[in-house]
């Protein structure tokens, strides 16, 4: 048993979609969430810049004595997780599009991964596809700055719908019937996406898989918590703005603190 918290981070509020799944799967775990909003979006940073940012967040988690870290960001995972696993000893669990799941799913047509352009263009994603779905046609679609619009908190902004239609309607014409969401901000748009593509298209995100993997790791290491403490939320940006948007997305009261990292 181990009641130390788990560290969860993203460039912004997207990682909260992963945190929600963790809270469902592991209700006794306490978390420290970091939104690196002074540096969002990660998708426009170089690999070196991302390693620097993630290193600072990891150092913060070390000071907070977390027992494991969840990289609740696909972009940070594909560009930095290998390096972080070399530098830090605690378990580090990443978030990547669920390629294995869409490869195994009964499908009639093609599939797509809808992510930030940075993840879509990464070698890491290409390697995952070659490893788990070498014989399946998977289209890689890089969304145009949707995460920045989600950061503003107005999910009903007509620009979001416009951009989703721009990316998704061509997929329907191509006969895509399964879409993996490869950005942790996008699950908050799942209903909107489903409305555009219709009920026959399956949309899968990574939250459940990440939460189950965390449970497996904590179980194997005998590190599951026996008692829940207080979840903490930090942002490198404006804590008031984070609270407002996070409360909307998490449907609950959130108290956040600003931290310089």
- Among the listed residues 73, 92, 120, 254, the single catalytic one is 73
Nearer to ligand DGL, 44 or 110 (CB): 44
Beta bridge partners of residue 113, listed in sequence order: 140, 180
Q: Smallest distance, Å, CB 148 to ligand DGL? A: 8
> Which residue among the candidates 16, 19, 183, 256 is catalytic per the annotation?
183
Structure tokens belonging to residue 73: 């960001």
- Which residue from 30, 78, 86, 31 is spatially nearest to 55, judged by alpha carbons? 86
Burial 6-31 (b: 16+ CB within 10 A, else e): bbbbbbbbbbbbbbbbbbebbeebbb
Facing residues of 69 across strands?
A: 7, 92
Q: Which is nearer to ligand DGL, 71 or 223 (CB)?
A: 71
Nearer to ligand DGL, 73 or 189 (CB): 73
CB 196 to ligand DGL: min, Å: 20
Sorted by sequence, the CB contacts under 8 Å of residue 58 that are 6+ apart come out as 7, 69, 84, 87, 88
Do 113 and 176 contact (CB within 8 A), yes or no? no
Interface positions with ligand DGL (CB under 6 A): 10-11, 14, 40-43, 73-75, 116, 119, 147, 183-185
User: Is 73 part of the annotated catalytic residue set?
Assistant: yes
At closest approach, how far in Å is the CB of 161 from ligand DGL? 19
Closest CB 140 distance from ligand DGL, rounded Å: 13
Nearer to ligand DGL, 66 or 183 (CB): 183
Active site residues: 73, 183
């Amino acid at each position: 048993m181990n009641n130390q918290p788990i560290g969860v981070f993203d460039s912004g509020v997207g990682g909260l979609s992963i945190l929600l799944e963790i809270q469902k799967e592991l209700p006794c775990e306490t978390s420290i969430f970091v939104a690196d909003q002074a540096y969002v979006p990660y998708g426009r940073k170089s690999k070196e810049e991302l390693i620097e940012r993630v290193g600072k967040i990891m150092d913060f988690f070390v000071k907070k004595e977390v027992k494991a870290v969840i990289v609740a960001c696909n972009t940070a995972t594909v560009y930095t997780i290998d390096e972080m696993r070399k530098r830090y000893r605690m378990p580090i669990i990443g978030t990547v599009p669920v390629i294995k799941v869409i490869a195994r799913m009964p499908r009639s047509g093609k599939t797509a991964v809808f992510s930030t352009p940075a993840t879509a263009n990464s070698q890491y994603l290409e390697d995952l596809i070659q490893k788990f779905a070498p014989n399946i046609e998977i289209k890689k679609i890089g969304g145009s700055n949707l995460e920045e619009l989600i950061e503003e908190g107005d999910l009903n902004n007509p620009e979001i719908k416009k951009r989703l239609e721009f990316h998704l309607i061509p997929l329907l014409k191509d006969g895509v019937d399964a879409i993996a969401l490869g950005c942790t901000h996008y699950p908050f748009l799942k209903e909107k996406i489903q409305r555009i593509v219709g009920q026959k298209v399956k949309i899968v995100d990574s939250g459940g898989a990440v939460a189950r993997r965390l449970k497996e790791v904590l179980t194997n290491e005998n590190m599951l918590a026996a008692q829940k403490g207080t979840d903490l939320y930090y942002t490198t940006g404006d804590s008031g703005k984070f609270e407002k948007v996070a409360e909307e997305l998490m449907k609950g009261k959130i108290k956040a603190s600003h931290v310089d990292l």
